[in-house]
Structure 1
C-alpha cells in the first residue's frame, strides 16, 4: 500500500472520512494552481481539510506554512473546528485559517507601521457615537454616522436606513471593483448626490482627524496597494506561506483576487474552491467571471469538478441540474447523485399572497424536527408576514438574518403617528411629522404659525382660524379632523385602510417615490404587511402592542439558532446550509426574478438574470428530501404572474426524464470548461440566439412543442398569452393583444421564452 493510500485508509478508520475519486485527486494535486469546482452538497469542506492534512502528514509541510482563506468568520471557524476533529493531534491555530479581511488588515497594519502612518478604524462597533475631541463641528468617527451627516449637509434632510444601505453598498462596490474616481459616476446609485458624498467621504477620511480613517473596504484596497508598492513587504508575505487555499471563491471581489494573486506569485501553489453556479453576490462586487477566466491568470492550472451531490434526493438533483443549464455563462458540468429518488418537487399556486404564510404554518405544524425545516425568500420584507403567523400559532422560529429596522422604518412610524393623532389632535409636533403625507396640503409656514400659538387646542381648528388657509384647504382640514376622530374607534385593519385612502397617505407615498426615487412596491408592501399584522385585532392599542411583541420575538428568535425551530432566511444567507424540508416563497415575476432583472434581460444584458437563476438554484439545492415552490395569483388586489423559474421547473418535471448522465464522477481537468461568452449585452443575447437556431430540439422541448400544438395557445415571456394561428417546422405565428407575432420555434423554446398554456 502506497503512502497516499495509507493516508486515506487511516483517516477513514480514525475519523470516518471516505473520499470519492475526484475528492482524492483534489487532495493529491498539491503543486501548482488548481480550480476545484464544487457543486452543492459535494463535500468541499471535507476535501479542503483532508488536503491540508495530506500536506502536513504526507508531504511534510509545516502547518504554519499553509494559509486557508475564506470570506466569513463563520466559515473560518467551521474549517478550524473540522480540522481539529479530523486531525486532533495538532495544537490550536497551527494552520492559519482566516478571512480575507483579517489578512488584508494584517498587511495594512504592517505597511502603516513601516511608514509610521497613524490610522483609525471607523467600522463595526469601534468609535460608535464618539466625536473627535468633543468639538462641535467634528463628525463622529464611525462610517455610517459620517455618511449620515454628509448626506444631511448635501441633501438637507435625514437619510433613510434604506438609502444608507444603498449608499454603503455603492461605496463598497466601487472599492471592491477597483473603479477609479473618474468612473464613479458610471456606477448606478439611486441615492441623491451619491458620487459627491463619496468624494467628500474620501476627503474627510484623510483630513477630518489627526489619523487616517479606514473602513473595512479600505483595508482591502490599502492591503492590495501595499503589496504593489512595497516589494519587501510583499516578499515577506510570499515567503510566509508555501500553500494557499481559498474557499467560496465565487464570492470573491476583484481586489480580493488581486491580493491572493500577489500572495502566491512566487510559488503558484494555489487551490481555489468555488462553484460558479452559486455566485450570487454580484451586487456586492463578486467576480464570477474571474473563475471562468481562471486559465488566463493561471495558464497551467488544473480544473477538477466535484459534481456528486451527497445531500439531496435524486428528484431534486436531477431538476436542479437541468435548471441551472439555462445559464450560458458557466462551466459545463453535470451534478448527479447516488441517493434514491424521493417525492417530486411540489409546485403550489395559491389564489392570494395572504394565504402563503398560513399555508406553510399548516404544513409544518405537526413536524417534530422543526430544525430541519427552512422557509427561504429573496427579500427580508417577506419574513415579517411569516413571523407574524408563526408567532400567533406558536411555531418556534429562528430568523437567520432578521432585520429589526422594519419596526423603526419611517413608514411604520408614520402609520403609528396617524393613529396617535386619533387620540389627540392637539399635538402640533405630531401632526408636523405627517402633515406632508396627509390631506390638507398644509405648508411649513402654516405649521410654524400654529406652533407659535401653544394654546393646547385642536391643530385643525388652529389651522382653520390662524393659518390663513386657502378655500380648498378649509374643506380638506375639516374632513381630516373628522377622519382622525373616527379612527379612534376603528379596528386597526380598517384604520390603516382609512389612513392610506381617506387620509391620503398612499397617494403621498406615490408622490414621494416619484420625487425621491424610492421603490413604490417596497413602501406599499410595508403598509400591506401592517394590514396583515392588524388582522383580527380590535383596537389601535392592541396593534401598537402587537408591533412591539413582534419586534421582541424577532430579537428573541436569535436564541433559537441551535434549537428546534424553523429557519427563516433570505436565499443569500441560506447558502451553505441544508435542511430536510425547504419552502421557497414569493416566487412571482417582479420578485424572483426582479423587475430590474427582467428589464436588463430584455435590453440584452443577461448578467443579472443569470445571477437570479443561480439564486433560485441555491435555494433548490438546500433541500435534502422535500422541496416546495410557492407562488400565488393575486397580491394586494392586483394579479401576479408566476415566476418564469417555477414555469421552467414545471416543464422539466412534467417532461420525460433524460437518461442518467452516469453515476461515476470523472473529474475531467484542463480546458474542459465551456467557453463563456466573450461579448456583452445585446451581442451576447444574439450569440445565444444564433446557437439556438442551429440546434435541434431535445425531447423536453419537443414535448413542449407538441403541447402547444395540441392546446392551440402559448405564453411568451415578453408578449404574454396568445392564440396559435400557424405552426410549421421553423416558425410559429401567435396572435397576442399587440397583434400577430412571427417567431422562430427553435430559438424561443431553447431560450425558455415559449411555454404551453
Structure 2
C-alpha cells in the first residue's frame, strides 16, 4: 500500500496529472455519501478515475468490489480507456451503464422465477432460451407502429413514432402512474391507449414476456424493492458505488442506486445541476438539490476551477447561469488567461447564415477544433449544402437525421415526378389529397378503376379526372387550374416549381389542414418546404434538384466516417455535452428556438394557468438557460454567437440569451422611455435574480464602501458620480456605468 502523498506524487510523475486541493479532497473522501459538483471543464473524469485508483492502491479495496456507473456507453468506454492508461497494472474495475446493471438484476430474478423473456431492442434474438432455434424477430418500433395504425386507421409518421417512444420512456423513468399520463405534453392521437396496448402486447401477445430498455429499469427497481434475497446480494456485491453524469439520471435510476448503497452508503455522485438538459428523458436534477435530505451525513464538494476555457468565456458563462434559481450557489472560475472576448454576429436573414459560417471557417486550418452548435437538427441542412459547395469536410454527430425522408420532402418530390408523366396514377395516389381541391378517396378510387382496367393508358390523370369522375363545380375549376399549372411546371426553374406547388397547386393550404387535423407541427412542415426552396435556387432542373436532395442525404449519413478527421463538427446543443473545441459557433439564436418560448410569453400566460403548470414553465425556462450554458462552455478559446433578423422572409426576435450575453460582455445603457401620462406600478423586468445584498439605489453607493462585482469580485469604491462608478479590485481599477450596474444587479454590498 502507498500513502496518500505518495499516490498523488507518483501520478504527477508518471502521468503529469496534478490535482488541485478540492480534487484531492474528493479523491480521499470515501466513507459515506459524497456529492461532487463539477463545473464544465473541471476535470471530473480525471478525478473520478484517480478516486478509483486511490481506493485500490491506498485503501486496498479489491477492484471487483467497486462499481462505476455512467449513463452512456461512450462515457463508460472513455472511463475504461482512461483507467487503463492511468493504472495499467491494476485489474479492470466494472464500468457500465445503468441499464446493464439493471439487466443483471432482471436476468437473475427471471431465472429464479423461470420466466421466459425476449428483448425487443438491441439484439432481437437474445432470449432466456439458450438454444439454436431462430427466434421470431420482434422490434419495439414495429410493435408500436402496428398498434398506432390499428387504433388510428393510418400509419404513424417517423416523428410520431419517435414521440411515442420518448413518451413511453419518460413515463417509465418518472414512474408516472397512469392517471398522470395525459399531462405529458405530446401531440399524438390516442397516446395513452397506445401505451396500454403496447404493455399488454408485451405481456400477453407472444407467449413470453417482451422487454424494452426501460423495462430493465422499472423491473429491476421492483425486484430490489420486493425480493430481499436479491437485494441483499447486490447490496453486498459492491463496497463502493460511483455514478457519473448524475444530473442526467432519472427517478427510477436514482431509486435503483439508492437501494444498492442503502447498507454501506459509500456512494460518490458526480454531477452538475447546471448541466442538466434532459428533462424530456425523465432526468431529475432536483435529486441533486435534495441530496442532503436523502443522505443527511453527505459531504458536498464543489470542483469549480475550469481548465478548459479562457477567462473571457468562463467569467461570462458563470454570470449567465446565475439567473437560475434551482441551483447551488457557486462560482465557476479559471486561472486561464484572457484570449478574446465572446463575439456576436447579427445577420440580415437566416439563409445567409450558412454562407457566413463557410467564410469564417475558410480562414481556419484545424477544422477538428471547430464546432457549430444548434438547437434542432433541421439547422444542419443548409450547413451541409453550403459546406459541400465550399468543399469543407464536416462530421455530423447526429447523422441519423430524418429530414430528407420526411413525408413533406417526399410530397414535394412526388409533385415534381408527376410533371414528367401525367398518366402516373401511382404518383398521383400519393398526393391527390394534398392538392387544395378536396378530392375524396371515393373519387380517387373511381379514377383508379379506369387505370386498373387500362394500365397502358397515357392519358393525363387530370383529363381523366375531369371526364370520368363526378366532381363538384368548385373541384372542376380547381382541377383545370392544376392542369394549367402543371403545363407551366415543365419549363420552370426548380425554385419556380416550388412556388407553383406551394401556391397554385395549394400544397401550403393543404399542409395547414393536414397538420391541424393530424396534430403535426405546421411550423416545422413549412420550414422543410422553405429549406427545400433555398436548396432549389442553386439547381437548374427538377432532376438536378431531386439528385441534389438524394446526394445531400447520402452526404449527411456518410459524414459519420469523418469523425476524428480534420473536419468541422455539426452538433445539437444536447449532443455536444462532454465535448470541447477551440472554436465554437452557436447559431440560430432567435426566440422560439433558444429559448423555445420567451420569458415575456411565459409571463403573459401566468394569469391563465394553474400553479403546477406555472412551476413547469419556470423549470422549462431554467433548462433552456442550462442548455445555452452547456453550449457556451464547449468553447476553449473562441466563442461566437450568431443570430439574424429574418427567417424565411418573416421577421424574428433575437434570442434574449444572445442579448443577455452581449450585454454582459459590453454593457450598454438602455434608452430611457418617454414619460407617459398614465403610470402603473410594475415590477422591474430584471434579467438576473437579485439577492438581498444587491444594490439598486444610486444613493447607497458611497466612496470607501467595499462591494462585490458579479464578474470581478470584491473591491472598494474609490469614486462615484451620477454616471460613472470606479472600483479598485485586487489587481486592477475598473470603471462602470452606474445605471447599468443598478439595472442588472451587478453590485452587491459586502457586510
Using the size of structure 2 for normalisation, the TM-score is 0.86
Q: Which moved more, 1:495-504 or 1:211-220?
A: 495-504
Q: Deviations over 1:446-490 (max 9, x none)?
A: 111111112422111111111111111111111101111221222
Q: Secondary structure at the match of 1:331?
A: coil
Q: Is the 8 A contact 1:34 1:304 kept in 2?
A: yes
Which of 170, 174, 188 is equivalent to 2:167? 170
Residues 1:346 and 1:596: Cα distance change in structure 2 (over 3 Å): closer
1:343-492 to 2 correspondence within 5 Å? Answer: 343-454=340-451, 455=454, 456=457, 457-492=459-494
Residues 1:750 and 1:192: Cα distance change in structure 2 (over 3 Å): farther
Does 2:340 correspond to 1:328? no
Does 2:191 correspond to 1:159? no
Q: Secondary structure at the match of 1:84?
A: helix
Residues 1:688 and 1:101: Cα distance change in structure 2 (over 3 Å): farther
Q: Is the 8 A contact 1:422 1:486 kept in 2?
A: no
Distance across 2 between alignment mates of 1:598 and 1:497 = 35
Partner residue, 2:98: 100
Residues 1:497 and 1:155: Cα distance change in structure 2 (over 3 Å): same
Q: Secondary structure at the match of 1:583?
A: strand
Q: Is the 8 A contact 1:439 1:480 kept in 2?
A: no
Distance across 2 between alignment mates of 1:139 and 1:199 = 23
Partner residue, 1:317: 314
Q: Is the 8 A contact 1:697 1:746 kept in 2?
A: no
Q: Deviations over 1:182-224 (max 9, x none)?
A: 3222222210000010011111111001110000000000011
Does 2:509 correspond to 1:511? no
Which of 112, 115, 121 is equivalent to 1:123? 121
Distance across 2 between alignment mates of 1:691 and 1:89 = 51
Which of 650, 653, 657 is equivalent to 1:641? 653
Q: Is the 8 A contact 1:692 1:747 kept in 2?
A: no
Q: Secondary structure at the match of 1:36?
A: strand
Once the two structures are TM-superposed, the CA of residue 45 in structure 1 deviates from its matched residue by 0.3
Q: Is the 8 A contact 1:692 1:746 kept in 2?
A: no
Q: Deviations over 1:578-628 (max 9, x none)?
A: 000000000000000113887556433310000000000000000000000
Partner residue, 2:147: 150
Q: Secondary structure at the match of 2:574?
A: helix
Q: Deviations over 1:365-403 (max 9, x none)?
A: 132110000000000110111111101110000000123
Q: Is the 8 A contact 2:413 2:546 kept in 1?
A: yes
Q: Is the 8 A contact 1:39 1:307 kept in 2?
A: yes
Partner residue, 1:29: 29
Once the two structures are TM-superposed, the CA of residue 570 in structure 1 deviates from its matched residue by 0.3
Residues 1:746 and 1:555: Cα distance change in structure 2 (over 3 Å): closer
1:550-589 to 2 correspondence within 5 Å? Answer: 550-589=552-591
Q: Secondary structure at the match of 2:100?
A: helix
Q: Secondary structure at the match of 2:504?
A: coil
Distance across 1 between alignment mates of 2:136 and 2:184 = 27
Q: Which moved more, 1:596-605 or 1:406-415?
A: 596-605
Distance across 2 between alignment mates of 1:584 and 1:266 = 46
Which of 626, 637, 644 is equivalent to 1:614? 626
Partner residue, 2:294: 297
Which of 179, 183, 186 is equivalent to 1:182? 179
Q: Is the 8 A contact 2:582 2:636 kept in 1?
A: yes
Once the two structures are TM-superposed, the CA of residue 296 in structure 1 deviates from its matched residue by 1.1
Distance across 1 between alignment mates of 2:602 and 2:317 = 24
Partner residue, 2:664: 652
Distance across 2 between alignment mates of 1:518 and 1:41 = 40
Once the two structures are TM-superposed, the CA of residue 553 in structure 1 deviates from its matched residue by 0.7
Q: Deviations over 1:415-449 (max 9, x none)?
A: 00000011111112211211121132211111111
1:681-692 to 2 correspondence within 5 Å? Answer: 692=690
Which of 274, 285, 299 is equivalent to 1:288? 285
Residues 1:139 and 1:433: Cα distance change in structure 2 (over 3 Å): farther
Which of 512, 520, 523 is equivalent to 1:521? 523
Once the two structures are TM-superposed, the CA of residue 357 in structure 1 deviates from its matched residue by 0.5
Q: Is the 8 A contact 1:254 1:285 kept in 2?
A: yes
Q: Deviations over 1:662-696 (max 9, x none)?
A: xxxxxxxxxxxxxxxxxxxxxxx999999859664
Q: Secondary structure at the match of 1:515?
A: helix
Q: Unaligned 5+ residue runs, structure 2? A: 127-134, 607-613, 669-682, 702-721, 723-738, 747-751
Q: Is the 8 A contact 2:368 2:568 kept in 1?
A: yes
Q: Is the 8 A contact 2:696 2:743 kept in 1?
A: no
Residues 1:151 and 1:746: Cα distance change in structure 2 (over 3 Å): farther
Residues 1:695 and 1:60: Cα distance change in structure 2 (over 3 Å): closer
Residues 1:590 and 1:404: Cα distance change in structure 2 (over 3 Å): closer
Distance across 2 between alignment mates of 1:334 and 1:281 = 23
What is the alpha-carbon root mean square deviation over aligned residues? Answer: 2.6
Distance across 1 between alignment mates of 2:180 and 2:647 = 40
Does 2:609 correspond to 1:626? no
Distance across 2 between alignment mates of 1:88 and 1:224 = 35
Q: Secondary structure at the match of 1:595?
A: coil
Q: Is the 8 A contact 1:398 1:565 kept in 2?
A: yes
1:42-57 to 2 correspondence within 5 Å? Answer: 42-57=42-57
Q: Unaligned 5+ residue runs, structure 1? A: 129-137, 657-684, 704-727, 729-744, 753-757
Q: Secondary structure at the match of 1:574?
A: coil
Q: Deviations over 1:210-259 (max 9, x none)?
A: 11000000000001111111111011111110000000000000000000
Once the two structures are TM-superposed, the CA of residue 90 in structure 1 deviates from its matched residue by 2.1
Residues 1:545 and 1:689: Cα distance change in structure 2 (over 3 Å): closer
Which of 239, 242, 262 is equivalent to 1:265? 262
Distance across 2 between alignment mates of 1:516 and 1:178 = 29
Once the two structures are TM-superposed, the CA of residue 407 in structure 1 deviates from its matched residue by 1.2
Q: Secondary structure at the match of 1:58?
A: helix
Residues 1:627 and 1:612: Cα distance change in structure 2 (over 3 Å): same
Q: Is the 8 A contact 1:439 1:477 kept in 2?
A: no
Using the size of structure 1 for normalisation, the TM-score is 0.85
Distance across 1 between alignment mates of 2:449 and 2:224 = 63
Q: Is the 8 A contact 2:370 2:582 kept in 1?
A: yes
Q: Is the 8 A contact 1:38 1:307 kept in 2?
A: yes
Residues 1:598 and 1:247: Cα distance change in structure 2 (over 3 Å): farther
Distance across 1 between alignment mates of 2:63 and 2:342 = 45
Q: Deviations over 1:491-547 (max 9, x none)?
A: 211111111111111111111222222121111111111112212110000011111
Once the two structures are TM-superposed, the CA of residue 410 in structure 1 deviates from its matched residue by 0.3
Distance across 2 between alignment mates of 1:302 and 1:50 = 18
Distance across 1 between alignment mates of 2:423 and 2:740 = 69
1:182-201 to 2 correspondence within 5 Å? Answer: 182-201=179-198
Partner residue, 1:739: none
Partner residue, 1:85: 85
